Amino acid sequence: MARRTPRSRAALHPGTPKSAGAATSGRTAKSGRTAKSGRTPKSFKSEPSPRSERHPLRFLARLLAMVCAFAFMVAFAVVLAKLTLEPSPASEALTHTNLRPGRSLRAYLDQPELRDAVRQIGGNLLLGVPFGVLVPVVAPRTRGVLRVLLLTATVMLLVEFAQGALVTGRAFDVDDVILNTTGALVGYLLLGRRLSRAVHARGSRSRKAQGESA
């Protein structure tokens, strides 16, 4: 009897093309050579991003801006304490506690001379402007209208409470808190927001780039 020759795999499965097996074996051999050589394909090589590079000059400029803002903030705190917490025995009989918003404002506007009203209202407004300008630069997490207003109102409320409870010739006035907070809003919208973005923009971009690469 004649022996039967074993049929090839292509003959058993006529629907399978011969090139498929050759391509599979070619890819397997290629991957094996890559694994043995320890080389990484070019598409997986990590290239340094230009955004992740640090610029010493920009870092120093940012640090200098924060130091200057902090120094101005300390100087402003000293001036604020001197203006608001210094006793005034001569005006003790003229000061009264005001818990009704708008009461002192009407009293300022009813003064016979416009200069006195401008001095009272404008002085309280200017007293709050440094909060809106310097606080977002010193503490970038406080950037935002609501945060600046809340921080300014909290500080000024503490100052007014200290005036009414501890300082002779001073009294608590809710209108002063309103004017100081309005001044902080003006300072933030005019200058504080732009300064904060200019100083802290580079740091936020680098953190964003690191998050995307992670």
pLDDT in tens, the chain (214 residues): 445 544 544 444 454 444 444 444 445 444 444 444 455 444 444 454 545 445 778 778 888 888 888 898 889 888 888 888 888 877 776 788 899 999 999 988 888 888 888 888 999 999 999 999 999 888 888 888 999 999 999 999 999 999 888 888 888 999 999 999 999 999 999 999 998 888 887 555 545 444 444 4
Query: 29 is written with which tokens?
Result: 């051999």
Phi, psi of 167 (to 5 degrees): -100, 130
Q: What pTM was estimated for this model as a whole? A: 0.66
Tell me the torsion sign for CA atoms 26, 30, 35, 40. Answer: negative
Helix (H, G, I), strand (E, B) or coil at 98: strand
What phi-psi label fits residue 8: left (phi over 0), alpha (psi between -120 and 50 degrees) or beta?
beta
